[in-house]
Amino acid sequence: MKLNTLAILIVGGAMAQAQPDSEMRAHIRGGGGPDGKCTIEVDIDDSAEVQISGDLGRLRSLSGSRAVWRRFECSSPMPRDMADFRFRGIDGRGRQTLIRDPRSNRGWAVVRLDDPKGGREGYTFDLEWRGGGSYGGPGRGPGYGSGPSGPPSRFTAEKAIAICQEAVSQKLDRDGYRGIRFDRVIPDNNPGRNDWIIGSVDARRRGDTDRFSFSCSVDFSSGRVRSVDVRRR
């Protein structure tokens, strides 16, 4: 094999590894200000990496099956410059590690999640800051290229899936279920149902694991969940 061909293959392989599985815009639920917080919840199998800058999140599976978003909520977009920054792991049976501080990484916080046991697991963590400056959009992330400069005019399928998962999780949580693990979540491609998200999920209650199928009707213009139906199999 020629050296230039080998170099192209090596560079191409490295770029492919750096690409995120999915991107998500944060649900902004605050009035802004110099201090703020983002709460991120994802479902992983083995290892994954989460990158956050401004109101943009990128999720990449490092090993195991594909990681998926559950929740990404912020009081305001995370600023690129801040006086103080704090990472806090909230939930998950494995290890959560802040591997890049946004203050020294062009505005990107990078968190690695490692799950020691087989099967999927949900992980939740907070990013908190104080004395934040203005938000100028995501910077150039390591290995990813530049992010979009503003929110999309219409929700993507990835974001619709994330808010459907959030609605399902809330419903199961109200019914006393814990250890919620999504298995298969996809847009419904049947005719007349292009605004529906369907899938299956496992959840534990009183030591037993139940399996459910679910469907969500999502308004792709506003991101509002019109209805959610969860049924035990």
Query: Residue ranges per domain, the chain?
Result: 21-146, 157-232
Please tell me the pTM assigned to this model: 0.56
Q: What is the pLDDT of residue 135?
A: 59
Q: Which amino acid is at 192?
A: G
Identify which of 11, 23, 13, 16 has the alpha carbon closest to the alpha carbon of residue 138: 23
**pLDDT cut 70: percent of the chain above it:** 79
Length of the chain: 233
DSSP 54: B
Query: In the structure, what pLDDT confidence band is assigned to residue 5 with cuts at 50, 70 and 90?
Result: very low
pLDDT tens for 21-74 read 788 888 888 766 778 999 999 999 889 999 999 999 999 999 888 888 989 999
CATH of domain 157-232: 3.10.450
DSSP state string for 44-64: ESSEEEEEEEBTEEEEEEEES
